[in-house]
Amino acid sequence: MRILLIVFAPVIGGLIVGFERIIRARMQRRIGPPLFQPFYDFLKLADKRKMMVHSSHAFLGLMHFISLWFALAVLLLGGDLILVIFLHLLSTSLLILAGFSTRSVFSHLGANRTAISVLAYEPVLIVIAVSIFMLTGSFTAASVFSYPAPLLFKMPLAFIALLLILPIKMKKSPFDVADAHQEITGGVELEFSGIFYEAVFTAKWLDYIFCYTLVYLFAGSNVTLGIALIGFVFFFTNALDNSTARVNYKQMLRFSLAVSFSLAFVNLIINILL
């Protein structure tokens, strides 16, 4: 089951993205594109001429995709949470390197902002992982999947903290400074084209699966609760995306370090004391 999920993760992620585009359009009273739209985009991009900036740029984009898939596999197979977080960080830093390796100003801006958003969500994730350790006595995701009681009721504050940093990770308003489509037209992904853009394009789908698996962790061994949580987070992030405008990166950093981080930290202290 898990192996299947890992192998077909890009496909499932693409379906989620397609579904999300429909839901977002319906929220704006539009009809929206068909469900398979991300795959049409994918196949069309495969047909376009490749305009490589230079080979290491394209290679870094591909490695971003592969290392993200690897991080996802480690998470789903029940690996060490700290390791998973750092593998995810590694894949993001490959993308940042790719952004800095071109001479485009927008690409540099996007890479800068991606680095800042890593700064915003990474500490929170680490603190959440540590509080999971305090609760279950182990850093592995497998121990969470087999934990009898759902983690959600033991660490609700950490869940709220995760909910507040997910828009940063999924590049959604109000914290989509890294993507900022109307402002820097995608940032780091700007210089990718043709088949090499697909690596970055599908990496976003993998990121969705990654985020929803993190959400699923909070349900422990309770599958129904897990699915309910994923549905809730799905609608929450989309409603948030549709109803807010972008904040600037300083506000994002301040918010996530002041609110999300302290929520997660308070949760950690409660977990230690109890």
Query: Strand pairing partners for 80?
Result: 140
In the complex, the smallest distance separating the C-beta of residue 58 from another protein, rounded to whole angstroms, is 12
Nearer to another protein, 43 or 239 (CB): 43
CB count, 10 Å around CB of 10?
A: 19
User: Cis ω on the peptide bond leading into residue 34 (within 30° of 0)?
Assistant: no
Are 72 and 5 contacting, i.e. CB atoms less than 8 angstroms apart? no
Query: Which position among 65, 197, 205, 218 is part of the footprint of another protein (CB under 8 A)?
Result: 197
- Tokens linked to 104: 């485009």
> Which span (54-62, 171-179, 180-188, 217-225) binds another protein, by CB under 8 A?
180-188
CA-wise closest residue to 188 among 65, 251, 95? 95
CB count, 10 Å around CB of 118?
A: 19
Query: Which position among 56, 146, 185, 221 is part of the footprint of another protein (CB under 8 A)?
Result: 185
Binding characters for another protein, 42-81, by CB under 8 A (x = yes): -xxxxxxxxx------------------------------
Please give the Cα distance from 197 to 176 (Å, whole number): 19
CB count, 10 Å around CB of 4?
A: 9
Please give the Cα distance from 125 to 119 (Å, whole number): 11
In the complex, the smallest distance separating the C-beta of residue 183 from another protein, rounded to whole angstroms, is 10
Binding characters for another protein, 7-46, by CB under 8 A (x = yes): --------------x---x--xxxxxxx--x--xx-xxxx
Query: Which position among 20, 176, 179, 191 is part of the footprint of another protein (CB under 8 A)?
Result: 191
- Which residues lie near another protein (CB under 8 A)? 21, 25, 28-34, 37, 40-41, 43-51, 181-182, 185-186, 190-194, 197
